[in-house]
Amino acid sequence: MKAKYLLLFAASLLLIGPSPSLSAPVQVAIESSQLANNGNQVYQQVNPAVVTVFAGREIGSGSIVSTDGLVITNNHVIRGSQNGYVFVRTTAGTRYPGRVIATDVRKDLALIQLDTQETLPAVRLASRSVQPGDSVYAIGSPYGRPGVMTTGSFSRVRENGDLQSQVILRPGNSGGPLLNNQGEMVGVNKAILDSRRGNTGISFATSIEATKAFIEANRPGRVAVAPPSYTPRSNPVPTPLPNLPVHQPIEQASDRSIRRQPTNDVVIQEPTYSSGLPSSVPSNGRLGVIMDTRTLVIREVENGSIAANSGLQAGDQLLEINGNPLSGFQDVLQFMSSPPRYAQFTISRQGQPTTVAIRF
């Protein structure tokens, strides 16, 4: 079993570029009517204060926790930032630049100050701990798509103080809020427990107690005070892992370093992000897909895009372009930097190779 962070590769998202179609809030269906009512209330209340965080080549989620623009997220979300500078985007599409003002590697937390004079909506921080069996909600930007909510239940407090819940998270959810029925933040989502069979639905979050202490110690104008050290007895928390890849569900990859620690069944894997896209992509070069930068598997196809019109589907894996085998995502980048009017993509679909004609 592996604990994975929930980070998303910005490079894969930028294959389709900033697109209004990706800004529409999406909610996961909730079964019972009572839970649906609670979920709708939580979503409407909190979603305006949840942002997508862009830090270099990585994408995660975050929560605005003060009306003057303080944002809490994971440390592993902002590690790729240039000199601490990032930007965030709300589900309404408003973009704000920001700067990282504090980090805590052990708790996997980071505090961002947005550069704005606006009064912003903020997530309320819970005053009491969540209890086992309580309903919990997660809002974030899985696969770079903002405003997605999933629901589940809280399981337990782990020995290291982290929260364990039964709620499905995806790559891009890292740094987003874990919420109670009142729409209050009870934790900061950061990792999932992953098995060879895929996402187990078990997720981990930094507790609200640790989060509030970190925020208060590092507010602008305050002297930062490091939290007391803590050494767990066993089964250590999945620390600084790239949020996904809890970021997003990724299988084995050669560009990922693996750090093993003595533990019962948790292996922490920490991907490195070396793939990126040019700062600008020609308009005729927008293929219109979200792609796993390690496996070259298409995760999502934009409606009406070149990819959709050419017949590419989610789940297709790119193998060759114009008969040239692809050794990695950099080959895709190189091709897309100056695409011809016509190309042939060889893909694997349901285990069978096939050729798709692409017209740009």
Amino acid at 273: Y
Catalytic positions? 76, 108, 174
| pLDDT tens digits along 207-263 | 999 999 999 999 885 433 333 333 333 333 332 333 333 333 323 222 222 222 332
Comparing 128-142, 275-289, 332-346, which segment has the lowest mean pLDDT?
A: 275-289
Higher pLDDT, 99 or 269: 99
This prediction has a pTM of 0.59
Nearest CA-CA partner of 43 in 168, 148, 125: 148
- The CATH architecture one would assign to domain 2-225+237-271 is Beta Barrel (2.40)
- For residue 88, is pLDDT > 90? yes
Which residue in the block uniquely carries the two structure tokens 């270099």? 56
DSSP string, 322-360: TTEEP-SHHHHHHHHHS--SEEEEEEEETTEEEEEEEE-
| pLDDT tens digits along 42-84 | 999 999 999 999 988 788 999 999 999 999 999 999 988 888 8
Is 52 in contact with 88 (CB distance < 8 Å)? yes
* Domains in the chain: boundaries: 2-225+237-271, 284-359
Q: Which of the four pLDDT bands, split at 50, 70 and 90, describes residue 266?
A: very low
Q: How far apart are CA 154 and CA 197, in angstroms?
A: 23
Q: How far apart are CA 96 and CA 98, in angstroms?
A: 6
Nearest CA-CA partner of 176 in 244, 115, 234, 121: 244
CB neighbourhood size of 272 (10 A): 12
Q: How far is CA 241 from CA 24, 98, 148, 208, in A?
A: 28, 22, 22, 19
Is 189 in contact with 209 (CB distance < 8 Å)? no
Is 135 in contact with 182 (CB distance < 8 Å)? no
Q: Which of the four pLDDT bands, split at 50, 70 and 90, describes residue 183?
A: very high
Is 75 in contact with 109 (CB distance < 8 Å)? yes
Tell me the CATH number of domain 284-359, given options 3.10.20.30, 1.10.1740.10, 2.40.50.100, 2.30.42.10: 2.30.42.10
Q: What is the mean pLDDT of the chain?
A: 75
Q: How far is CA 233 from CA 59, 90, 226, in A?
A: 32, 40, 21
Q: How many CA atoms lie within 13 A of 156 on its CB side?
A: 4
Cα end-to-end span (Å), the chain: 42
- For residue 196, is pLDDT > 70? no
Alpha helices in the chain (DSSP H): 10-13, 33-46, 75-78, 208-218, 306-310, 329-337
Instruction: Locate 291 and state its tokens.
Output: 């792609």
| pLDDT tens digits along 23-44 | 333 334 444 455 567 888 999 9
The contacts of residue 278 (CB under 8 Å, 6+ apart) are: 333, 337
Q: How far apart are CA 44 and CA 139, in angstroms?
A: 11
2-225+237-271 shares its CATH topology with 284-359: no
Long-range contacts of 267-270 (CB under 8 A, 24+ apart): 267/1, 267/2, 267/3, 268/2, 268/3, 268/238, 268/239, 268/241, 269/2, 269/3, 269/4, 269/241, 270/5, 270/240, 270/241, 270/242
Write out the H or E segment, with its range, that includes residue 99.
Answer: strand 95-104
